Structure 1
Amino acid sequence: MLKVKQWAWVFGLALLTQISFAQQKRSLTHADYDGWENLSSEKITKNGQFVGFQISPQDGDGRIEVFPFKNPTQKVIIPRGTSFNFSSDDQYAIGKITPQKDSIRVLKLRKKKADDIPKDSLFILNLTTRKVEKLPRVKSFAIPTEKGSWIAIHFEKELPKKDAPKDSIATNKTDSTAKIEKPKKTDGTKLLVRSLDGAKTWEFERVKSYSFTPNGDFLQYTLAEEEKADNAAVYLLNLSTGESKLVHEKMTTYSNLVFSPQSAKLAFIATDDSLKAKKPTHTLYIYDIKEGDLATQVEKSALKLENSRISPDGSLRFSEDESRLFFGVAKDYMDYAYESDTTILDEERVSLDIWGWQEAEIQPMQLKNKSQEERKTYLATLNLLDFSITQLGTPEVEHVMMENKITKDFALAWTDAPYRRSYSWDIQIGRDLYSVDFKTGTRTLIEKNASGSPRLSPEGKYAYWYDARDSSWVAYDLESKAKINLTKRISVPFYDEIHDSPSLPGSYGSEGWLVGDAAILINDRFDIWKIDPKNPTSAVSLTLGEGRKKQITFRREQLKADETSIDPKELLILSAFNELTKDNGFFTSTYEGKSAPKQVLMSAHRYLGIRKAQESNQVIVRRSTYRENPDIYLTDLTFKTLTKASNLNPQQAGIKWGSVELVSYLSNDGTPLQGLLFKPEGFDATKKYPMMVYFYERNSETLHNYRAPAPSRSTINIPYFVSNDYLVFVPDIKYDLGLPGPSAYDCIIPGVQAVIAKGGVDTENMAIQGQSWGGYQVAYLITRTNMFKAAGAGAPVVNMTSAYGGIRWGTGMSRMFQYEQTQSRIGGTLWEKPMYYLENSPLFTMDRVQTPVLIMHNDADGAVPWYQGIEMFMALKRLNKPAWLLQYNGEDHNLVQRKNAKDLSVRLSQFFDHYLKGAPAPLWMTEGLPAVEKGKTLKYELGN
């Protein structure tokens, strides 16, 4: 046995080893971002025997990993694999292989032509033998969705042979003086169709598009037209016999090809007009696969809507019983004398926008939606039994809501046209709701000015929606024409209980209907209710109120991807989230509501992306914490054991990462709030750390979210700052209507004070940073307090009076609704509440600011007017306050281009390091970046 002194020596050695290892860890740098991996496209075979997923670095070459569910160590790794799927027979994994990014970059630096750049390849992995087959220069591929072991591979354009003459690759003459013919231009390329094992193959040239029937019995392929040749065509390949049959030919274009659900019919749209024609006429065709001939064709003259045409911009869809085909009809092309006047030069044509007060939508919104409006179609249906056409959508009621699977002879339709003019300031306008009969096109009014987004129950007995004006769920019995309030007599609220804006509160959603429309499942904040529309007073809480009692949010996990209604005999799997502790997990229950949910897994993690095998109980799920990557775990519906199957970012073990804890505190008005405190590795409360404070609405529920190091699109990257020995605090904010600025102050400052009281904060070196709504609050706070040594404000609104009447250029909408109803929370017009706009606008008190500010506002911002950032900067410049404005050219609200995000990350860290850590200021801060130096230097260099 070891003596006490020996134990002390062993313990001391272990402690020294841990300290030594900790000291070997390094801080994150901006160079770490590119190699940081994320996981996506996780899939499990229908039989549950194999799992696969894609792992990709932020910039670089990724991979696909495929392995047996029972032995995840036996992985087959496909370097640079992407876009993969399992075959419908669970025997193969198929996907693309992208070229090496470094090689592509080198070739681009050498100014190589597009044809000289490597193209994607295809891989076919045999899951049994683990052998991988590869095919080069692949444009796309497809496999049947339901059954059949087939693949269609569309190749890139073939390159001319190196030894062929420059202007040709073939000749049809035999003598030496024969004229060499150039290949005819065409959009089509080679298509290879084969069994996945390679036993059967067919090749077709000049293919433009292709697709399989759902059951894998047939494949259609369309041949592209050659230059000066009338030879475009549609063919059908019978995969059992290998026979390829002509369906139609000699049209200019074929489009919208779609098979019926049972693979009995093929529909498509075609035109013989020139590709350059401004007003082409299209025809709709239906091909009977069994009979082997065209069953019918629909010409423009057969349409019921006046001055209309068949449109290729509308999708084609069959009903599930294949008795109907739905297609799009558009208004006919109009002739405008001014447009077609060839005596007017282009430079003589007038270009202007006229804003009319009476129009439903303002001009910027019309311009934003112009291309969509030009392609607008109205739904029509063709009865394939008697070939009659019924117009369903019209300019008066244009929206017809079709289900994923069309099984009924009617649908819901709606219009908001009578209320659309108010949309610029009231985004919760109503809509007139109808049912529309497929046979006659007759519309029956359900409700005028309905609030909500109605849907049909699976059996079509009810229309149902959440009525925000009444804070209730309602159903409409389509047979008795009676409206039913489903939740009014239930004692708990079904509206968003923490809603804090001037708009009507939303709901917590519904979970679906039981078989036969017997009952609907509706969520309150915590629990799930089973409600029979025929007897709403008999509503039952499936979770017996345990959620509200224990502050746990229960939600049903939908495990069938194609589910239409819920079988009440099945086990009810519930996700669970504890609002107080933020623990997450799963419970089981039944649809009877007679017993409390049983906990099967609950832990201090976040679980997400649960996927169940279609034919077994095997399950894959991701799990994360702030320290744990969201890796894939294997389990079953008991959740008794979880086997880790991926290992993202092993390099993290050598990096100082830190931790996060939940902080509870009271706002200035006594409201209990929570926030997240991220602490550096080896945090010592007796030391003092600089602290960053970031905020945006509420974030405490993200306690167990993994946050990857990444270039900043607009906000500080928390892992980067924590790894570099900053504290980062993220407080929750609750708002009082009309007081967004004071509300932020009353929630953020007490939160900061609560963190200071815990110890370890260098109160002389604290900063705040936020973007958009957070950027506004940063601008407001620095007019109210000098407790922060530096501030970063991204896309801040500083003048609500000028922003109120502006445009959100990303949508073309007026900004009025934001101030009256949503995030800005003023709750009235500028002329109704002028003082609220003034008192919440930090621009008017910029003379109080003593805090250096780094502003980012980009000149293509589609959400917050760019001039808001300019107004803030110019005020501070005029007041001789330290301020910098970063304006990324052509960038939107948040940075899109990675190069710019990397640049912002560097400048954010340099700015805050200078003010909070005393690091030298970079040259861009001390010297600026004059226009004559733009694009020539970045000025990251630090001064003395």
Structure 2
Amino acid sequence: MANSKRAITAEDFTNLEVYSDPQFNPEGNKYAFVSTTVNDKDDYDSQLFVQDLNTNEAKQWTFGNEKNSNPRFSPDGKSVVFQSNRSGVPQLWLLHTDGGEAKQVTTFKNGAVSPEWSKDGRYIIFTASLDKDDDVKSQKEQSKEERQKEREEKNKQPLVVTSLRYKSDAKGFHDDKKSQIIVYDVENETFTQLTTADTHHGYQDISPDSSTVLFAGNLSEDAEYELTNDLYTVNIATKEVTKLTNGKGTYHSASYSPSGEKIAFFGHEQTHAGATLNELYILDVKTGERTCLSSDWDFQLGDIMIGDTRLGASTTGPVWSKAEDKLFFIGTDYGATGLYQVNLQGDLEVLYKNDNHVFGFSYDGNSESFVIGVSTPTNPCNFYLLDSNSNLTRLTNANAAFLEEVEVIEPETLTYQAEDGWEIQGWLLRPYGFEEGKKYPFVLEIHGGPHAMYGQSFFHEMQLLAAKGYVVLYTNPRGSHGYGQEFVDACRADYGGSDYTDLMSGVDYVLENYSFIDADRLGVTGGSYGGFMTNWIVGHTNRFKAAVTQRSISNWLSFYGVSDIGYFFTKWELGQNLLEDTTKLWDFSPLKYAENVETPLLILHGEQDYRCPIEQGEQLFVALKHLKKEVEFVRFPGASHELSRSGKPEMRIERLNHICRWFEQYL
């Protein structure tokens, strides 16, 4: 039977609206949110909308080719502060809720981000990137021409490196500027710098009496050698800094209770290095006593779902109830995320979980209701009202025209047994226009991380491969989040071991149980850790007829020194670093097995990837080409490790087209 809707295309992600960051107003009768789209200039626009919950009318508040985000209502509900790059770099702007033009609040040279109000409306607290001697009282924004000239002058100078952490995939090469916390006095229109230490400070919250700001950071002299992140307070009047946590872990997402007597936060003490599950803690402000509410739980707190159409940050908790007797947060469990609540005795309750992806929420204490953001495998995003009686009402109808026009395929959830009997969860997409009795080529997708999770969320790339006529399988092998501490830790020091056989068991399972898969036309692809695993697979089996490795790791020996995380990640994940056991690192390196590769391999890599630098792709390409193997190398100019998720739209389309071309050629 002919499809009434067309197949999805590589370009179709540019037709999507992506929602994020719902924020109730103080009255609880409206909420603001951010909508991100692709513009005609090969970039992203983010606009602010406000929806009235009584009339359901949504109004767009910002316009133009700009990135507007982080809307926060003032406590009296009369103003919204937000972040916008309309003047050239992100600055803070104020907008009256009854209309009118936005007023620019900051003119900081390097921008100002992440605004929040004090509870009394007296202050706006934000973060700015500052040099050591910068004066916040005399900050002047540069013109476009001044910024361009400064960049050109900087590019003429050599980069002098003295820090271990001198680059990152998010920011490129670092300079001496640090994120500092600034307070803006709304009535007097003055700025005060609260933090000055030579480290980055992450604003968390302000106390209800507006006297103290809570922040995260590492103020130790050995900070660059430590992987810890503590919580601190700074007194606004005296600027006295107090350390709240023990220096043994990493803590974040902290918030004061309504009375200011307690602080709730996520964190852990790295008992399983980067695979450690978050805990939920409460700190008594007066006594300093810390209580863990989550010690009996075995799932990840926060949103760990992977997707390629999630743009913009959203609140994931913990958030206090108005009565201060509960906390609300998003949790990640068994291929889905949900909204949870816990009382102060640790009794856990699921408020909403329905085999989909809850990506953010806002809580209204007046009505005890929530606005939650939800993505499903067949719908990129919408907002819903979850009331105090657990009734769910859809508020938005995002991407309605797109979904009416395009066929989006519902995945089939499956569970299979690994070689050692562990259960592995996965999903299978049938191809567009599926017909019984026909045989179809197959693609295995492998996620990165490895401590992340595929699941019940919209994924454009998966839908595209199904639209091109492939059966698509994506699974969560051991090492993935969503299945408890033992499971997520199980791939450490065993890369290419049971994680590899988990994936092969999945392929075996679907070949046994789905007769429409052509066993002679199997493909495999993945990015980052998934790229490592793709490289590993083609060096250890010839069952796949085509492979595409993306932003991958091929040589752990060089990765140690070239990746922004290499110096600690190799130890965390493989048990050794370059200075301890070169033999072990080489045994874990796919490059060692290049002679075994018979599968035609396409290597995709971003030129500005500092997480898995492009030399990893270069080494693999040269080795395979030298061995006269079937290999091709595609380099994406200006692209970082985030190419597939938030890279330049034109480059994202090129990437998808190359993947489809390779599989079409060999499958």
Q: Counterpart in 1 of 2:227?
A: 428
Q: Counterpart in 2 of 1:705?
A: 457
Q: CA deviation at 1:740?
A: 1.1
Listed one character per residue, the Cα deviations across residues 421-476 of structure 1 (whole Å, up to 9, x for unaligned) are: 7x2xxx53698x9998999999999998644449897688899998966x7xxxxx
Q: Counterpart in 1 of 2:6?
A: 26
Q: Counterpart in 1 of 2:604?
A: 856
Partner of residue 142 from structure 1, selected from 89, 94, 108: 94
Question: Which stretch shifts more, 677-686 or 622-631?
Answer: 677-686
Matched ranges for 1:101-112 at <5 A = none
Larger CA Rg, structure 1 vs 2: 1
Matched ranges for 1:636-647 at <5 A = 636-647=387-398
Q: Counterpart in 1 of 2:53?
A: 69
CA distance in 2, matches of 1:778, 1:724: 21
Q: Counterpart in 2 of 1:830?
A: 578
Listed one character per residue, the Cα deviations across residues 644-696 of structure 1 (whole Å, up to 9, x for unaligned) are: 53242333234332221222223333332222222235645643211111112
Q: CA deviation at 1:763?
A: 0.9
Q: Say which SS state the counterpart of residue 881 (structure 1) adopts.
A: coil
Contact 1:675–1:699 (8 Å) recurs in 2: no
Q: Within the alignment, does 1:790 sit opposite 2:560 as a pair? A: no
Question: Which stretch shifts more, 42-51 or 887-896?
Answer: 42-51
CA distance in 2, matches of 1:757, 1:86: 53
CA distance in 2, matches of 1:352, 1:409: 41
Q: Counterpart in 1 of 2:466?
A: 722
Q: Say which SS state the counterpart of residue 536 (structure 2) adopts.
A: helix
Q: Counterpart in 2 of 1:419?
A: 222
CA distance in 1, matches of 2:123, 2:167: 43
Alpha-carbon spacing, 1:419–1:511, altered in 2? closer, same or farther (3 Å): closer
Q: Within the alignment, does 1:740 sit opposite 2:495 as a pair? A: yes
CA distance in 1, matches of 2:53, 2:239: 51
Q: Say which SS state the counterpart of residue 887 (structure 1) adopts.
A: strand
Question: Which stretch shifts more, 363-372 or 668-677?
Answer: 363-372
TM-score by length of 2: 0.70
Alpha-carbon spacing, 1:878–1:52, altered in 2? closer, same or farther (3 Å): same
CA distance in 1, matches of 2:506, 2:559: 30
Alpha-carbon spacing, 1:591–1:841, altered in 2? closer, same or farther (3 Å): closer
Q: Say which SS state the counterpart of residue 625 (structure 2) adopts.
A: helix
Q: Within the alignment, does 1:369 sit opposite 2:124 as a pair? A: no
Q: Counterpart in 1 of 2:148?
A: none
Q: Counterpart in 2 of 1:905?
A: 656
Letter in 1 for 2:546: A
Q: CA RMSD in A?
A: 5.5
CA distance in 1, matches of 2:63, 2:571: 49
Contact 1:860–1:891 (8 Å) recurs in 2: yes
CA distance in 2, matches of 1:310, 1:646: 46
Q: CA deviation at 1:914?
A: 1.4
Q: CA deviation at 1:720?
A: 0.7
Q: Counterpart in 2 of 1:632?
A: 383
CA distance in 2, matches of 1:741, 1:561: 33
CA distance in 2, matches of 1:660, 1:141: 43
Q: Within the alignment, does 1:865 sit opposite 2:620 as a pair? A: no
Q: CA deviation at 1:778?
A: 1.0
Contact 1:797–1:868 (8 Å) recurs in 2: yes
CA distance in 2, matches of 1:622, 1:42: 7
Alpha-carbon spacing, 1:569–1:907, altered in 2? closer, same or farther (3 Å): closer
Matched ranges for 1:808-819 at <5 A = 808=563, 813=564, 815-819=566-570
Q: Within the alignment, does 1:773 sit opposite 2:576 as a pair? A: no
Q: Say which SS state the counterpart of residue 718 (structure 1) adopts.
A: helix
Letter in 2 for 1:898: P
Q: Counterpart in 2 of 1:843?
A: 591
Q: CA deviation at 1:723?
A: 1.9
Alpha-carbon spacing, 1:430–1:861, altered in 2? closer, same or farther (3 Å): closer
Alpha-carbon spacing, 1:439–1:904, altered in 2? closer, same or farther (3 Å): closer
Listed one character per residue, the Cα deviations across residues 250-306 of structure 1 (whole Å, up to 9, x for unaligned) are: xxxxx99x9998789999xxxxxxxxxxxx9xxxxxxxxxxxxxxxxxxxxxxxxxx
Letter in 2 for 1:852: P
Q: CA deviation at 1:625?
A: 2.1
Contact 2:524–2:534 (8 Å) recurs in 1: yes
Q: CA deviation at 1:632?
A: 2.4
Q: Within the alignment, does 1:888 sit opposite 2:636 as a pair? A: yes
Q: Within the alignment, does 1:404 sit opposite 2:210 as a pair? A: no
Q: CA deviation at 1:872?
A: 1.2
Q: Counterpart in 1 of 2:485?
A: none
Q: Within the alignment, does 1:807 sit opposite 2:562 as a pair? A: yes
Q: Counterpart in 2 of 1:689?
A: 440
TM-score by length of 1: 0.52
Alpha-carbon spacing, 1:402–1:770, altered in 2? closer, same or farther (3 Å): closer
Q: Counterpart in 2 of 1:112?
A: none
CA distance in 2, matches of 1:75, 1:367: 38
CA distance in 1, matches of 2:62, 2:133: 49
Contact 1:722–1:728 (8 Å) recurs in 2: yes
Q: CA deviation at 1:841?
A: 1.6
Alpha-carbon spacing, 1:635–1:786, altered in 2? closer, same or farther (3 Å): same
Q: CA deviation at 1:861?
A: 2.4
Alpha-carbon spacing, 1:91–1:261, altered in 2? closer, same or farther (3 Å): closer
Letter in 2 for 1:704: Q
Contact 1:461–1:517 (8 Å) recurs in 2: no
Contact 2:20–2:33 (8 Å) recurs in 1: yes
CA distance in 1, matches of 2:344, 2:18: 37
Listed one character per residue, the Cα deviations across residues 562-615 of structure 1 (whole Å, up to 9, x for unaligned) are: 9996555767667676x45x5665677765678x84x66553333343334464
Listed one character per residue, the Cα deviations across residues 299-327 of structure 1 (whole Å, up to 9, x for unaligned) are: xxxxxxxxx97733899xxxxxxxxxxxx
Listed one character per residue, the Cα deviations across residues 798-841 of structure 1 (whole Å, up to 9, x for unaligned) are: 2222333x233xxxx572222112xxx22113353232122222
Alpha-carbon spacing, 1:904–1:566, altered in 2? closer, same or farther (3 Å): closer
Contact 1:525–1:553 (8 Å) recurs in 2: no
Contact 2:611–2:641 (8 Å) recurs in 1: yes
Contact 2:263–2:282 (8 Å) recurs in 1: no
Partner of residue 522 from structure 1, selected from 270, 287, 292: 292
Q: Say which SS state the counterpart of residue 411 (structure 2) adopts.
A: strand
Listed one character per residue, the Cα deviations across residues 536-555 of structure 1 (whole Å, up to 9, x for unaligned) are: xxxxxxxxxxxx7xx89899
Q: Counterpart in 2 of 1:312?
A: 136
CA distance in 2, matches of 1:448, 1:520: 10
Q: CA deviation at 1:141?
A: 5.9
Q: Counterpart in 1 of 2:276?
A: 506
Contact 2:275–2:451 (8 Å) recurs in 1: no
- How many percent identity over aligned positions? 18
CA distance in 2, matches of 1:140, 1:399: 18
CA distance in 1, matches of 2:241, 2:552: 48
Q: CA deviation at 1:752?
A: 0.9
Alpha-carbon spacing, 1:517–1:718, altered in 2? closer, same or farther (3 Å): farther
CA distance in 2, matches of 1:720, 1:464: 41
Alpha-carbon spacing, 1:449–1:748, altered in 2? closer, same or farther (3 Å): same
Q: Say which SS state the counterpart of residue 782 (structure 1) adopts.
A: helix
Q: CA deviation at 1:772?
A: 2.0
CA distance in 1, matches of 2:122, 2:530: 56
Matched ranges for 1:278-677 at <5 A = 311-312=135-136, 361=164, 368-372=173-177, 404-405=206-207, 417-420=220-223, 423=225, 427-428=226-227, 450-453=248-251, 503=273, 506-510=276-280, 512=282, 522-524=292-294, 527=297, 568=323, 579-580=333-334, 582=335, 591=344, 597=349, 602-613=353-364, 615-617=366-368, 619-677=370-428
Q: CA deviation at 1:882?
A: 1.4
Letter in 2 for 1:722: A
Contact 2:446–2:475 (8 Å) recurs in 1: yes
